[in-house]
């Protein structure tokens, strides 16, 4: 990534961090970087199930921002790994608020992509008075139609990846891949869940960028680490999909439409034109619901990944602009 990431801010190490007991047996791993007295922002990673990477810190100018990053329940360095018990959207929203209070932050900007955009919107509609701005990418609203697209229709653009995804299942289970994958991914035996997790996460990875990522992008981690990460992504995504992302009773667009405080927030949405995982119509509907203060920027040469050149430039520019405006004490 380094050769093509010169538009990100320079690498930076976290200068604070820790473990936060969330109850229910879950412990959150968090970190912070940038100016200790900088403009607060919280980074929400995708998935569900991925986790924070050092490159995520580079979206934020350390001369302006105090960036807080954390691994959601069951992800990354948070424990227990891959745990679905007491793991719902409401739990994750409560965790963000618990972390804010733990750090003594009054209000913060929220930055999230893909599932992180879902969680950002769920948090903003629950705690609008704690949010100063939203920076979003690859919009996923957690609807049944979007889940069905991922499981079935995404294969119309990546048929070979979808065929490999279904090949992990017996023929009798391929009409309903979510039902077929769930027992495999939840099985405690690595001989059962590891191949299923690799197939699920491999399908998603294959569809994530406009151009195939270079093989070098996948050589930095050991097979054990790759399998561990794949399990969290596959298990937690399947868990959330099976429960309609815990949003069916309170759809995000309905919540936004009914709350003027959310519609008054400054919002920048960066959306890849050729995002096959999260097609652009969701971003378009979100921007229309948010209204005049939302800017929708369609990246003409990008798919889903935050690190495709056009998308990362748009995200860095939006963060720089919002950061400067908030640092001056104005509205972003």
Domains in the chain: boundaries: 2-143+247-327, 145-246
> What integer pLDDT is reported at residue 227 of this predicted model?
75
Distance from chain centroid for Cα 233: 11
> What integer pLDDT is reported at residue 330 of this predicted model?
62
For the chain, helix, strand, coil in percent to 5 are 45, 15, 35
> What integer pLDDT is reported at residue 13 of this predicted model?
98
CATH of domain 2-143+247-327: 3.40.50.1820
> What integer pLDDT is reported at residue 61 of this predicted model?
98
User: 16-23 and 39-44: which strand pairing?
Assistant: unpaired
Average pLDDT for runs of 10 along the chain of length 332? 64 98 97 98 97 97 98 97 98 98 98 98 98 98 98 97 97 98 97 96 95 56 66 98 97 97 98 98 98 97 96 97 91 64
**In the chain, how long is the greatest CA-to-CA distance?**
60
Please tell me whether residue 33 adopts helix, strand or coil conformation: strand
Q: Known catalytic residues?
A: 114, 275, 304
Nearest-angstrom CA–CA distance, 33 and 197: 32
Q: Helices in the chain by DSSP H: which ranges?
A: 89-103, 115-126, 144-151, 159-167, 177-186, 190-206, 223-242, 252-257, 260-263, 281-290, 309-327
pTM of the predicted structure, to 2 decimals: 0.95
> What integer pLDDT is reported at residue 318 of this predicted model?
97
């Amino acid at each position: 990534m380094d050769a093509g990431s010169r538009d990100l801010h320079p690498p930076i190490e976290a200068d604070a961090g820790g473990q936060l007991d969330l109850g229910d047996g879950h412990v959150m791993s968090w970190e912070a970087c940038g100016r200790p007295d900088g403009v607060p922002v919280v980074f929400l990673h995708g998935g569900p199930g991925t986790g924070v990477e050092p490159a995520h810190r580079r979206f934020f100018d350390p001369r302006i921002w105090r960036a807080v990053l954390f691994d959601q329940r069951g992800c990354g360095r948070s424990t227990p790994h891959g745990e679905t018990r007491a793991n719902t959207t409401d739990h994750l929203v409560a965790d963000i608020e618990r972390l804010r209070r733990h750090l003594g932050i009054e209000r913060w900007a929220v930055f999230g992509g893909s599932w992180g955009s879902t969680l950002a919107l769920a948090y903003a509609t629950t705690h609008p008075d704690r949010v100063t701005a939203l920076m979003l990418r690859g919009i996923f609203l957690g609807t049944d139609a979007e889940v069905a697209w991922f499981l079935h229709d995404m294969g119309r653009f990546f048929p070979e990846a979808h065929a490999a995804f279904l090949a992990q299942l017996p023929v009798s289970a391929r009409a309903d891949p979510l039902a077929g994958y769930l027992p495999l991914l939840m099985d405690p035996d690595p001989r059962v869940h590891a191949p299923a997790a690799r197939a699920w996460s491999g399908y998603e990875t294959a569809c994530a960028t406009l151009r195939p990522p270079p093989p070098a992008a996948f050589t930095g981690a050991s097979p054990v680490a790759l399998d561990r990460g794949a399990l969290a992504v596959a298990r937690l995504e399947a868990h959330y999909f099976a429960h309609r992302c815990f949003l069916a009773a309170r759809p995000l667009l309905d919540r936004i439409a009914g709350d003027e405080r959310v519609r008054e927030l400054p919002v920048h949405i960066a959306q890849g034109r050729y995002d096959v995982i999260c097609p652009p119509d969701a971003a378009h509907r979100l921007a229309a619901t948010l209204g005049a203060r939302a800017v929708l920027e369609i990246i003409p040469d990008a798919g889903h990944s935050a690190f495709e050149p056009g998308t990362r430039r748009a995200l860095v520019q939006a963060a720089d602009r919002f950061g400067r405006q908030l640092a001056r004490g104005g509205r972003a």
